[in-house]
Amino acid sequence: MASTIRLKTKTRDDITTIRLIVRHPMETGFRVDDETNELVPEHYIKKISFEHNDKLIFSCDWSRAVSKNPYLSFMFKNSKVGDKIKITWLDNLGNNDSLESLIE
Amino acid sequence: MLRRSFLKILTSSTVLLFSGLFTPIRLFAEWKDSAFSAKDIDTAIGNYFPNQNIEKTDQIKIEIYDEVENGAVVPVKVKTDLKMVKSITIFADKNPNPLIANFDLTSACIGFVSTRIKVSEPSNVIIIVNANDVLYMAKKFVIVHENGCG
């Protein structure tokens, strides 16, 4: 199956910009399903972590108020093209996914 | 037949075992439920940063539209020149649960984060930055026309 994580990286000098979108419904538990007229149970990512060459560099704690298919961008130093980046998320139902990639 | 089902059990349990093993420990670290489930802004901030002073600053730049049609997708960009940024935390004071997201930065990171949030009604988007263990706050008001939390 295709990864839920779509990653774009850009490195200039020794600074890398990370941009990603995660495919995830981020259901608040407040939304009513149009067909069943019932509330859709809450389903959202609680944690995402980023490792650069196996070292944790950035991590997030999220609520259900992060938008559907979450977008995130951040920047870090001391990196170069070809370095390893690993992203892992975990949601409130215990689902998780991760992606390993090389920095461009 | 028996052998096949045994193999099936073996395979599925191996997958379970390994998916557990390879989930980084960081993901099991504490998620502050008392702050995330708080229903008003003061409790949310107080539970996330217990007994800490928060200073107002003009050194946090919040990029957010003044007015947004659909509260389900509100882009927020935070930049700061404060040194040694350890965390950036986003709240919307009128949301059912005001704490939206926290980002933990390490010394490798630039003081910057960009994301998209849900805002239920016209609110102050409040940003709290931990810089060298001092908390700083900035806010910006955003008008939303359509509830983004439904």
Would you kindly state where each structural domain of chain A is located, as residue ranges?
5-102
- Tell me whether residue B22 is in a domain: no
Distance separating alpha carbons of residues B88 and B103, to the nearest angstrom:
5
What per-residue confidence (pLDDT) applies to B147?
A: 86
For residue B145, pLDDT over 90 is answered with: yes
B135: domain CATH number is 2.60.40.2470
Beta-carbon contacts of A62 under 8 Å, excluding residues fewer than 6 positions away, are A44, A45, A46, A47, A48, A70, B100, B101, B102
Distance separating alpha carbons of residues A44 and A25, to the nearest angstrom:
7
Number of domains in chain B: 1
pLDDT tens, A19-58? 999 999 999 999 999 999 999 999 999 999 999 999 999 9
Rounded to two decimals, the pTM is 0.88
Mean pLDDT of chain B: 87
Shortest distance between the Cα of A96 and any Cα of chain B, in A, equals 8
Q: Mutate which of A67, A85, A96 to disrupt the B interface (most B C-beta within 10 Å)?
A: A67
Of B123, B99, B93, B121, residue with least CA distance to B44: B99
Taking an 8 Å cut-off on Cβ atoms, the answer to whether B114 and A71 are in contact is yes
A39 touches chain B (CB under 8 A): no
Residue A58 with chain B: CB contacts under 8 Å: 103-106, 109
For residue A61, pLDDT over 80 is answered with: yes
Among the partner-chain residues A31, A46, A56, the one whose CB lies closest to the CB of B150 is A31
Dihedral sign from CA coordinates of B124, B125, B131, B133: positive
For residue B21, pLDDT over 80 is answered with: no
Distance separating alpha carbons of residues B100 and B90, to the nearest angstrom:
6
Taking an 8 Å cut-off on Cβ atoms, the answer to whether A73 and B31 are in contact is no
Shortest distance between the Cα of B18 and any Cα of chain A, in A, equals 13
Nearest chain A Cα to B35, which residue? A63
- Tell me whether residue B20 is in a domain: no
Stretch B90-100: mean pLDDT, rounded? Answer: 97
Distance separating alpha carbons of residues B62 and B123, to the nearest angstrom:
14
B36: phi then psi, degrees, rounded to nearest 5? -65, -30
CATH entry, A5-102, from 3.40.50.2300, 3.30.420.40, 2.60.40.10, 3.40.50.300: 2.60.40.10
Domain membership of residue B138 as a residue range: 31-146
Residue A52 with chain B: CB contacts under 8 Å: 108
ipTM of the complex: 0.96
Distance separating alpha carbons of residues B99 and B31, to the nearest angstrom:
12
